[in-house]
Amino acid sequence: MFVVQLNGQMGEHLYNAPPTFIWRIYESILQSITTKLWRSIMLDTKTYEKELQKVNFPVEIQDIHDIPVEMARKIVRVDTNEPLGLVKSKYKPIDHVQAFDGAIQQMQNGGLNFTDAKINIDAYENGAMAKMEVLLPSHHTKIGTHDLFLKYVARNSYNGRWKFQAFFGWLNEVCFNTLVTGQKLAYTSNRHTKSFDIDASNQKIKNAVQAVTDETEKFTKWWNTPVEDNQIKKLFERTIAKMPLSEGSKLAGASQMNKKQLYNLMGLYNDEVAQLHGKGDYGRKNAKGSLWCAYQSATAWSTHLSDVQKDESKKHIVQEQRQNSVIKMLNSPQWQKLETV
Which pLDDT tens digit goes with each residue over 121-147? 999 999 999 999 999 999 999 999 999
In this structure, the chain runs to a length of 341
pTM of the model: 0.79
Q: What is the mean pLDDT of residues 283-307?
A: 91
| pLDDT above 80 (res 282) | no
281: Cβ contacts below 8 Å, ≥ 6 apart: 274
Whether residue 152 has pLDDT greater than 90 = yes
Q: Is-contact 159 128, C-beta < 8 A?
A: yes
Mean pLDDT of the chain: 83
CB–CB of 73/142 below 8 Å? no
| Structure confidence by residue, pLDDT tens digits, 75-84 | 999 999 999 9
Predicted pLDDT at 21: 52
Question: What is d(CA 270, CA 288) in angstroms, rounded to the nearest whole number?
Answer: 10
Q: How many CA atoms lie within 13 A of 54 on its CB side?
A: 19
First to last CA, the chain: 49
User: Residue 100 to residues 50, 83, 96, 321: CA-CA distances in angstroms?
Assistant: 13, 22, 6, 21
Q: Are 151 and 212 in contact (CB under 8 A)?
A: no
Sign of CA dihedral 202, 208, 209, 212: negative
DSSP H/E element including 328: helix 315-330
Residue 187, beta-bridge partner list: 167
